[in-house]
Structure 1
Amino acid sequence: MAFTVRLLLFSSLFLLPVSVFAQTNGGIAVGDFLTATAANSSPWLSPSGDFAFGFFPLGSNDLFLLSIWYAKIPDRTIVWNANRDNEAAVAPKGSTVNLTANSGLVLRSPQGDELWESGTSAGVVAKGVMNDTGNFVLQDRNLESLWETFNNPTDTMLPGQTFERSRKLSSRQSETNYSKGRFQLLLQDDGNLVISTINLPTNLANAPYYATDTTSGTVAGSEGKELVFNVSGYLYVVRENGGKYNLEVGEAVSARDNYIRATLNFDGIFAQYYHPKNFTGNVSWTLRWSEPDDICQRNREDSGVGVCGYNSICTLKDKRPTCGCPKGFSLLDPNDPYRGCKPDFIQGCEEDELSRTNDLYDVEALTNTDWPTSDYVQLKPFTAEKCNESCFQDCLCAVAIFRSETCWKKKLPLSNGRVDTGLNSQAFIKVRKDNSTLPIPAPQHPCPDDKKKKSQTTVIRAESVLLGTSIFVNFILGACLCLGFVLIFRKKHVRSAEIVLDSNLRSFSYEQLREATNDFKEELGKGAFGTVYKGVLQIGSGVQVAVKKLNYVMQEIEKEFKTELNVIGQTHHKNLVRLFGYCDEGQQRLLVYELLSNGTLASYLFTDIKPSWRQRIEIAYGVARGLLYLHEECSTQIIHCDIKPQNILLDDYYTARISDFGLAKLLKMDQSKTHTAIRGTKGYVAPEWFRNMPITTKVDVYSFGVVLLEIICCRRSVDVENNCEEKAILTDWVYDCFLGGALDAIVDYEVQALGDKTTLENFVMVAIWCIQEDPSLRPNMRKVVQMLEGVVEVQVPPCPSPFSRACLKESFVSQV
């Protein structure tokens, strides 16, 4: 017995190393698979253990990236990842990757949907090999390569890797987003190795900002044939005649003692890094060399957006670009400064022409800053003062640059912005004065009591004069007073809308608007109170507008018209649609709005192509801030009463703009409740409309909650065509999913949303708070904005409707 035990122990000394080696020898058999789970996500390792192939966890969101990474260093830097249609193959927890004979590597979701496959050039896969070079290869039974990651690179080259003509590296979108970005390194068909930006979502490349110029020249065969990163860590272009063009500079680094990689970074910098294989303490990657030396200056796109996107400024720091917005502009995406900036105000000829004041702009002066490809006029000789004034008076001009007695005027969007200390220039940026979201002071109209007192005082004084004068004078004065009252009375009734001129609205004749709309030819939409037409006002080069023609058939129309004139005319916020003017001629009632280019939120959300998660987040923020302004920050409190995706428009930058105040019920500042007829649209109407309860701003909060769920899920609040009855009512279904912890189902397993799980969970909880059946439980819009922005912690909400199926089920389960 003792001998048997000794024999087993002795045998184990040999079996254990074989078992370990089987996990790290790099060979993978057909039928082997990996599962994306935190507890069991052991990767396939190369024989040395330097590289790992498998599911790389992305934060704590239960999302994984199928990739290859350095396995022995703390950074675990990714050198390759699966990519499908320019999107990173991010997989939710429970996904699997299988090695198959006919399709190679196949990545599937927990539900069995195919997320990505490698495919093969030809033949049947016999095995997979994770090499010590960092190359994962699929081989046939003759050990011939059928597919390999070295031939399908992402953003990194490794020693031993070569590029033939037409092969390229593509940057990732950001430090944490592994989808295809805006920069590419390409060995062109003419042999030139170039780095350039591309105009996503196409592959159209702009002029290169870096090139080796290895093309045909005076020496035969001087064009580049391939890009080589040899096993010693040297990177060079091999010419047709055998010559070399070295990319690297400086002293060589030992490939035996260091890991070496060359990466096209998300900001367009191509750099070589090294990391010691044996180290102690905190060690990270060291930069050996990079190109270009100053990307802010070198990258100049005639048809692109530049390194930092439109309307931004690129500044070099430690050989890497940093991006910022000028005053009066803000980031398109607060989490991605490289996407560009948008103006916080409306700037253009139509806005300037339709405003009743000339004092619209301030000027922000910057030194040594330029947007060199946005010029439309050059003036010379000129002075700095004249340059500033010329832009200030020009409605097309957004920025003027003065240098060397020359003035360049530029218009939006501004591209290729950069700081250059050698310019010796001045930049004059026009910033609209009323671009803030602060409430605009209301026109100072006397209150009714003051008017009454003033009228009484006038009558008393008139009577005193009459009693103290002769009958003849009394007669003359009496006739004058009567004539005056008649004229005032007629003026009030003929021009009842005159009081709105204080709110910067312009009065149009019916004929002007008939001509502007080409006899109301192009219909943009139709609502309960009228039809909207596209028009062009003959102001300057032409101003596009949306003309709402009201159906003058009932008294309610008159109420809507007066409401819109007196309220919208005094509002100004970047998340509200601007009312430019009106027509009040006979029985014709028309409203003239700014025309927004990207249509309604409904047409944007409910399509086959789902908008990005980040874009939807920004839209939700915009709608919430617009409602906060209406409820608390404008001079007269407004309840919209019909918040829905059809009444939310999108401008050039996809900024949400709330429209259609025709159903608004005005509240005086000392009131908080009002009773009114049922208004709104089915699916968005708060329960109190049907219960003869006081209507407060909480009805808009309820509607916003429904819209927020539609923004999150990209589906309508009521889907009668849904085959699954439980999913037909969005609010009920989302609460069911929330109770069951199935947030991934709410967004249909969308990778971007699940990658931002904290925001997703907060948004869902805020929406559930907003749709509470009891109005007193709903937060006001100020708190909604604070919760969405993360300023206030979001508590777990109760069941929104006590008698709904979901809540009755929850109550039954808790009792059991």
Structure 2
Amino acid sequence: MALSISLFFLLLLFPLKCVSSLSLMTKGSSLSVEKHAEDVIVSRNQMFCAGFVEVGENAYSFAIWFNESHTHNTTTVVWMANREQPVNGKLSKLSLLNSGNLVLLDASQITTWSSNTASHTQVKLHLQNDGNLVLSDSKGTTLWQSFDFPTDTLLPGQPLTRYTQLVSSRSESNRSSGFYKLLFDDDNVLRLIYDGLDVSSTYWPPNTGTIWQAGRVNYNSSRIAVLNSLGSFTSSDNYLFFTNDYGSVVPRRLKLDCDGNVRVYSRSEALKQWYVSRQVINDACSIHGICGVNSACDYDPERGRSCSCLPGYKVKNHSDWSYGCEPVFDLTCDGNESMSTFLEMQGIEFFGYDHNYAQNSTYMNCVNLCLRDCDCKGFQYRFDLDQGFDCYTKLDLRNGRRSPSFTGTIYLRLPNGNNFSKEESVTVAADDHVCSVVLHRDYVTKPANRFLRFCLWLATAVGALELVCFLMIWGFLIRSRQKSGADQQGYHLAAVGFRKYSYWELKEATKGFTEEIGRVDGTDAHDGRLVTWVREKKRRNSWLEEILDPAIGTNYDMNQMEILTKVALDCVEEDQDVRPTMKQVVEFLQSHESDAL
């Protein structure tokens, strides 16, 4: 009952920004990246949304976020499917296949992410009120859920187990995997690990004592940690904390930030923003790798964290301090100890990467110990009440931090003859060096697509060629029609004695071949058809002379003309049954061949 009341008040307070009618996905349905503002799955309580989020230039990831906005600058993302491989902003889609597998396809139809599930029954994808994206079958069995694959955030009720881990983002603007991890180690202890470009180390709990001194236990092998809705975080290794606003009903999230610190964020509805209600590590400079190699970290509560290169070193990458600093000198190692000198710097500690350790050692003994080692970058020299002065030669100058409470001294090994001073260093606020690499996603075509593109171009070219040919033929016909004038008709009439009619003239005379022609001018035949006129002439004795063209003259055979005229008249009988076949015509002509001769 209390949980229902809490959710009711959260619904009243939480701003609604996702506008969508999608409550779930079924087999055969898809979400399109080109309609990312519309194709969004919304939880029933309207608190969470799932869809495509822009993570760079033409780069998108399928993610879950709090229902407050939908721009990559302000969206509070709590889970991401393809953080390492964003998809193209065109043609990409999330599809629930008929096989029961949930896949994310890029523009080139390459699968960039998959739930690796299968089901022969009906399945659905829905977003629960707690922010868990669940793929379940018709029996309600969970096939896949986002809570089992966290990215950098835990929501209330979402467990961190032996099989899961949180991985920070590369930066605030680059949501790909970064260098920090929160996980249960093999000794059942919850730890923070720096997994950098070339080295790895554990920095929480601090390596200053045993796990018992850190308040942890390692005999509980269940390995589970969870943040509840009221602001309490409990872990199976006995780690426990409460948020500053513990007990209040507000949206919360636990996040491993890109700076390696774990923070719990709560949302203020009055201010419409998130605030830090708990931070695991108070000293930001105790986080490994925060300033990179050959540098020192300095933290001030008012100014924040800053990084500075050691004397004799310069910034390696001005856009990313995790690369640290590089030397501006060339330190040779040829056995000549006079080639090196040491610069004393107090109040700076470098944790780890000790090559040699000498207990109760003099300063000169420590100097000689470093000079005999070509890889020695310097040594830490500090006083211990029980053991005297201890010497630690350094292979690498990593995890450096300035602290007034640190009583030791670091001696940097530098080439002799260079005028490096303690004050000579480059100091920049680390927060100003957030990696600004913009993610992008180009459309990568496959060979099949290149072939299809070639076919399309070929079809287009052939179509264009056919169009040109059609236009040329049409133009030729028009010109031919125009040239069929009186002059050509006169030449033809003079040659054969007959009037030549063109196709266009016949079509025009018959009104599109809808009316018959063949009527002749003259007093004898102007009222009858040509066939009727010939038949009437045939009844007379001199009929053949009357129907022949006078231009022929007398140079013809009367019997042949009579036979041909008879055949012609028989072939145009109105009754089709009376008309002779072609075989009969041939036989008739052959039978009268001797008569004609």
Instruction: Determine the structure 2 residue equivalent to 1:76.
Output: 75
Query: Could you tell me whether the CA contact under 8 Å between 2:182 and 2:191 is conserved in 1?
Result: yes
Q: Does 1:286 align with 2:270?
A: no
How far apart, CA to CA, are the structure 1 residues paired with 2:217 and 2:306? 33
1:367 aligned to which of 331, 346, 353: 346
Instruction: Determine the structure 1 residue equivalent to 2:389.
Output: 406
Instruction: Determine the structure 2 residue equivalent to 1:334.
Output: 318
Q: Number of residue pairs matched?
A: 395
**Secondary structure of the residue that 2:251 maps to in structure 1?**
strand
**Secondary structure of the residue that 1:23 maps to in structure 2?**
coil
Query: Could you tell me whether the CA contact under 8 Å between 2:191 and 2:202 is conserved in 1?
Result: no
Instruction: Determine the structure 1 residue equivalent to 2:491.
Output: none
Q: Does 1:58 align with 2:58?
A: no
Instruction: Determine the structure 1 residue equivalent to 2:410.
Output: 427
Query: Could you tell me whether the CA contact under 8 Å between 2:379 and 2:410 is conserved in 1?
Result: yes
Q: Which string of whole-angstrom CA distances, capped at 9 and with x for unpartnered residues, describes residues 405-458 of structure 1? A: 73635344323322232222332323447999xxxxxxxxxxxxxxxxxxxxxx
How far apart, CA to CA, are the structure 1 residues paired with 2:148 and 2:62? 17
Q: Which string of whole-angstrom CA distances, capped at 9 and with x for unpartnered residues, describes residues 91-123 of structure 1? A: 121122222243533112212122111222766
**Secondary structure of the residue that 2:276 maps to in structure 1?**
strand
**Secondary structure of the residue that 1:267 maps to in structure 2?**
coil
Instruction: Determine the structure 1 residue equivalent to 2:540.
Output: none
Counterparts in 2 of 1:215 and 1:57: CA distance versus 1, 3 Å? same
After superposition, residues 511-526 of structure 1 pair within 5 angstroms as none
Instruction: Determine the structure 2 residue equivalent to 1:252.
Output: 246
**TM-score scaled by structure 1?**
0.42
Instruction: Determine the structure 1 residue equivalent to 2:258.
Output: 266
Instruction: Determine the structure 1 residue equivalent to 2:309.
Output: 325
**Secondary structure of the residue that 1:53 maps to in structure 2?**
strand
Instruction: Determine the structure 1 residue equivalent to 2:333.
Output: 349
Q: Which string of whole-angstrom CA distances, capped at 9 and with x for unpartnered residues, describes residues 348-386 of structure 1? A: 415x86xxxx98667544221122323334567667688
Instruction: Determine the structure 1 residue equivalent to 2:229.
Output: 231
1:275 aligned to which of 260, 267, 272: 267
Query: Could you tell me whether the CA contact under 8 Å between 1:30 and 1:128 is conserved in 2?
Result: no
Counterparts in 2 of 1:434 and 1:142: CA distance versus 1, 3 Å? farther
How far apart, CA to CA, are the structure 2 residues paired with 1:427 and 1:401? 5
After superposition, residues 611-690 of structure 1 pair within 5 angstroms as none
Q: 1:142 Cα deviation (Å)?
A: 1.9
How far apart, CA to CA, are the structure 2 residues paired with 1:39 and 1:344? 49
Amino acid paired to 2:66: Y
Computing the radius of gyration over CA atoms, which structure comes out larger, 1 or 2?
2
After superposition, residues 507-586 of structure 1 pair within 5 angstroms as none
Query: Could you tell me whether the CA contact under 8 Å between 1:24 and 1:46 is conserved in 2?
Result: no
How large is the RMSD of aligned CA atoms in angstroms?
A: 4.2
Counterparts in 2 of 1:251 and 1:29: CA distance versus 1, 3 Å? same
**TM-score scaled by structure 2?**
0.56
Counterparts in 2 of 1:162 and 1:393: CA distance versus 1, 3 Å? closer
Instruction: Determine the structure 1 residue equivalent to 2:33.
Output: 36
Amino acid paired to 1:247: F
Amino acid paired to 2:320: D
Query: Could you tell me whether the CA contact under 8 Å between 1:24 and 1:47 is conserved in 2?
Result: no
Q: 1:146 Cα deviation (Å)?
A: 0.9
Q: Does 1:416 align with 2:427?
A: no
Q: 1:261 Cα deviation (Å)?
A: 0.4
Structure 1 unaligned segments of length 5 or more: list them: 1-19, 300-305, 437-613, 618-712, 714-723, 725-816
Amino acid paired to 1:284: Q
Q: 1:157 Cα deviation (Å)?
A: 0.3
Query: Could you tell me whether the CA contact under 8 Å between 1:229 and 1:235 is conserved in 2?
Result: yes
Query: Could you tell me whether the CA contact under 8 Å between 2:105 and 2:113 is conserved in 1?
Result: yes
Amino acid paired to 1:417: G
**Secondary structure of the residue that 2:282 maps to in structure 1?**
coil
Query: Could you tell me whether the CA contact under 8 Å between 1:82 and 1:89 is conserved in 2?
Result: no
How far apart, CA to CA, are the structure 1 residues paired with 2:404 and 2:393? 20
How far apart, CA to CA, are the structure 2 residues paired with 1:286 and 1:273? 5
**Secondary structure of the residue that 1:338 maps to in structure 2?**
helix
Counterparts in 2 of 1:370 and 1:123: CA distance versus 1, 3 Å? farther
Determine what percentage of the aligned residue pairs are the same residue: 24
**Secondary structure of the residue that 2:242 maps to in structure 1?**
coil
Q: Does 1:98 align with 2:92?
A: no
Query: Could you tell me whether the CA contact under 8 Å between 1:399 and 1:429 is conserved in 2?
Result: yes
Q: Which string of whole-angstrom CA distances, capped at 9 and with x for unpartnered residues, describes residues 665-720 of structure 1? A: xxxxxxxxxxxxxxxxxxxxxxxxxxxxxxxxxxxxxxxxxxxxxxxx9xxxxxxx
**Secondary structure of the residue that 1:268 maps to in structure 2?**
coil
Q: Which string of whole-angstrom CA distances, capped at 9 and with x for unpartnered residues, describes residues 386-410 of structure 1? A: 8679867975442233333736353
Relative contact order higher in (CA < 8 Å, ≥ 6 apart): 2
